[in-house]
Amino acid sequence: MLDPFVIGGITLSSRLFIGTGKYSRNTLIPEVVASSGSQVITVALRRVDPESRDNIVSHIPPHMTLLPNTSGARTAGEAVRIARLARAAGLGNWVKIEVINDQKYLLPDNLETIRATEILAAEGFVVLPYMSPDLSAAIRMKEAGAAAIMPLGSPIGSNRGLRTKELLRILISEVDLPVIVDAGIGRPSEAAEAMELGASAVLLNTAIATARDPLLMAEAFREAVSSGRKAYLAGLGPVEETAVASSPLTGFLK
Amino acid sequence: MSFYESLARLEQLPYESLWQQFQVEDVKRALCKDRLEESDLLALLSPAAEPCLEEIARRAQRLTRTHFGHVMQLFTPMYLADFCVNHCTYCSFSSIYDFPRKRLTPEEVRQEAVAIASTGLRHLLVLTGESRSESPASYVKECVEILHEYFPSVSIEVNPLSTAEYRELREAGVDGLTLYQEVYHQETYRKLHVKGPKRVFRNRLDAPERGCQAGFRSVNIGALLGMYDWRQEAFMTAMHARYLQDKYPECEIGLSAPRFRPYLGEFNPNSDVTDRALVQIILAYRLFLPRSGITLSTREPAPLRNHLIHLGITKMSAGVSTEVGGHSQDGGTPQFEISDERSVEEITDMLKANGLQPVFKDWDLLRLQA
Ligand code: SF4
């Protein structure tokens, strides 16, 4: 099925983005990449140590698009510096903005995120902001130059699934940007659900990294994401009442 | 408002009867909750939790793996100076002991840094005895500036400082503060701290909060277990952590559970913290504060450390010396005896064999780049 997904000028055939953060060994990364079929992988710049014998980036297969994230940033200014450092370190020009001020639940700070998006998009980065699903914030991110938005399904690492489903539904229908559901997806069925809803892609880390068999789980997610996408394309996605443009029943009232 | 006010209330609780009052059902209820309350924490620390330890451990492990994954951050302490003006009855650096004291010169700091960095470690905790004249904040600052060339992350464990001093150190590149209250029970605190400025309980108690205000990225607290009733001490520690976490959500609040260790003197603690008790404490910390880092030091023996890594611990020290200059020269007096003498490589191998990834670098200070 031809259903290319273009982001930042790159055409992706996989709509599953994965993470690098929680594996029991870095050597699992290439194996998970292969099983998941993923083409985009996030890496926390704070974890990158070019001088280390076990540098995380050296485990990422070269065909992957790197999505360095700004985890650890507490302000827009810090996120901007991390992004610039990542680009200077040769990690490419994609960046996932993560500005988090709340260490209890790790919820993103949308306002600071919008500020960072604006600065980095102007510098030519492909900016993917991680956000709390809020419509006006999403619109401002688009205006600020985001290439996609990454709303959370539920708090990071919680594996609680799509607790923000109603808000995601609104973002998907109202914001003219790819919506990549990030954080909270714990099961393949939830990834499928996000895709059925019309999300452009999903990003996962914990669910694969902490599974008993991460490779089998990666494969399960690959299939779930692809099934969910097919269902959406087939028209099984949510039928929006507001999507009916003209009402045939009252059409005679001119 | 400071934690001192909360402490005043918590001190009034009837602990003796409280510990007996909890039932297994209270523990099971706590196990099902998302956000635990004060009474759940008490239940988890009470004798009623003992028969449920395995069940609690399973939940603690699940929480740790979802929030932190299969990784373990490694760091090592580096002692800069052993001058101390206090007399704490449990420590070899106490001013009453007569041994040649020293303080590393910038050159020696560099030598130590090179020796430690060659093991692969990138996170460092620098320590001093408590002496404002021999190892003032300005000295620590000079050392940190050197150390930053080798370590992306440097934390400090020094005498309590003012907010302004903490801020100055943060600006010089320190990103974390560790400060143990040692003992929360005030009467015992007075008994154990015989002489010196450390006697001022409240100055110490409020210091982690000053660290949060100064903007440190992480603040780590703990009680030295074994000095007073461990249940009550662990309870106070966790409540202190919760207080800081609620008030300073931008700061990562971490916990340590150090047990008393042999040192130069004769003092023997009056409360016996068994391995079982230590496990119960760590598990209660994890359930009460699911996102907090929990540090395990080399005070604990290797075989026990090998088990504890599965129960909620997220940071471990490795390749440790508790002597000033102990990584690149001999002859210092250790602050206390360590139990786990394994090298960084041995710890790394052990973690890998247990399905965990040792993480050497998990932070990078951004002050250098515009
Ligand atoms: S515990 Fe600290 S303050 Fe007390 S004697 Fe030892 S070094 Fe000095």
Q: Dihedrals φ, ψ of B219, to 5°?
A: -130, 125
Cα–Cα distance measured from residue B353 to residue A24, given in angstroms and rounded to the nearest whole number: 10
- B361 at A interface, C-beta within 8 A: yes
Q: Is B120 exposed, middle or buried (0-12, 13-18, 19+ CB in 10 A)?
A: buried
The average pLDDT across A155-178 equals 86
* Nearest of A58, A67, A117 to residue A87 by alpha carbon: A67
Cα–Cα distance measured from residue B197 to residue B157, given in angstroms and rounded to the nearest whole number: 16
Cα–Cα distance measured from residue B11 to residue B22, given in angstroms and rounded to the nearest whole number: 18
Q: What is the pLDDT of residues B172-206, one digit of tens each?
A: 989 999 999 999 999 999 999 999 999 999 999 99
Which residue ranges form the domains of chain A, and what is each CATH number?
A: 3-249 (3.20.20.70)
Residue A81 is nearest to which of B69, B70, B369, comparing CB atoms? B369
Distance from CA of B156 to the nearest CA of A (A): 19
Concerning whether A96 is annotated as a catalytic residue, the answer is yes
Q: What is the pLDDT of residues A13-40, one digit of tens each?
A: 999 999 888 888 888 999 999 999 999 9
- List CB contacts (< 8 A) between A85 and chain B: 366, 369
The answer for A37, left when phi > 0, alpha when psi is -120 to 50, beta otherwise, is left
pLDDT of B364 strictly over 90 = no
Q: What is the pLDDT of residues B262-301, one digit of tens each?
A: 666 666 666 678 899 999 999 999 999 999 999 998 888 8
Cα–Cα distance measured from residue B127 to residue B332, given in angstroms and rounded to the nearest whole number: 14
Cβ contacts from A onto B, under 8 A? 81
In the block, tokens 């009867």 appear at B17
| Mean pLDDT, all residues of chain B | 90
* Nearest of A103, A176, A186 to residue A152 by alpha carbon: A186
pLDDT of A247 strictly over 60 = no
Looking at the DSSP assignment, which residues form a beta bridge with residue B317?
B75
Cα–Cα distance measured from residue B301 to residue B282, given in angstroms and rounded to the nearest whole number: 16
pLDDT of B370 strictly over 50 = no
pLDDT score for B300: 87
- Ligand 1 mutation pick, B130, B195, B299, max ligand atoms within 8 A of CB: B130
pLDDT of A234 strictly over 60 = yes
Nearest ligand 1 atom, CA B94: 5
Cα–Cα distance measured from residue B265 to residue B337, given in angstroms and rounded to the nearest whole number: 12
Is the torsion defined by CA of A94, A79, A51, B320 positive or negative?
negative
CB contact under 8 A, A103 and B356: no
Residue B205 makes CB contacts below 8 A (sequence gap 6+) with B2, B3, B4, B7, B181, B240
Cα–Cα distance measured from residue B35 to residue B262, given in angstroms and rounded to the nearest whole number: 37
Least reliable range by pLDDT among A131-140, B84-93, B308-317? B84-93
Q: Which residues line ligand 1 (CB under 6 A)?
A: B 84, 86, 88, 91, 93-94, 129-130, 198
- List CB contacts (< 8 A) between B152 and chain A: 49
Pairing of strands A10-12, A5-7: antiparallel
Is B36:B30 a contact under the CB 8 Å cutoff? yes
- B118 at A interface, C-beta within 8 A: no
Least reliable range by pLDDT among A229-243, B137-151, B168-182, B318-332? A229-243
Domain ranges of chain B: 3-359
Between 3.20.20.70, 2.40.37.10, 3.40.470.10, 3.30.950.10, what CATH number should domain B3-359 receive? 3.20.20.70
| Mean pLDDT, all residues of chain A | 88
Is the torsion defined by CA of B285, B289, B290, B296 positive or negative?
negative
| DSSP characters over A155-224 | STT-----TTHHHHHHHHHH-SS-BEEES---SHHHHHHHHHTT-SEEEESHHHHTSSSHHHHHHHHHHH
Is the torsion defined by CA of B84, B87, B93, B98 positive or negative?
positive
Cα–Cα distance measured from residue A43 to residue A24, given in angstroms and rounded to the nearest whole number: 15
pLDDT of A251 strictly over 60 = no
**What are the Cα distances from residue A112, in Å, to A101, A118, A152, B7?**
10, 10, 16, 36
Q: What is the pLDDT of residues B210-229, one digit of tens each?
A: 999 999 999 999 999 988 99
Residue nearest to atom 4 of ligand 1 (CA): B88
pLDDT score for A254: 55
Pairing of strands B153-157, B174-178: parallel
Q: What is the pLDDT of residues B104-149, one digit of tens each?
A: 999 999 999 999 998 889 999 999 999 999 999 999 999 999 999 9
Cα–Cα distance measured from residue A23 to residue B194, given in angstroms and rounded to the nearest whole number: 48
- Ligand 1 mutation pick, B80, B84, B323, max ligand atoms within 8 A of CB: B84
Task: Examine the predicted complex and report whether its ipTM is higher than 0.85.
Answer: no
Give the SS3 label for residue B100.
Answer: coil
Cα–Cα distance measured from residue B290 to residue B347, given in angstroms and rounded to the nearest whole number: 25
- List CB contacts (< 8 A) between B360 and chain A: 49, 52, 54
Q: Which two tokens stand for residue A48?
A: 């990158």
Is the torsion defined by CA of B222, B228, B232, B236 positive or negative?
negative
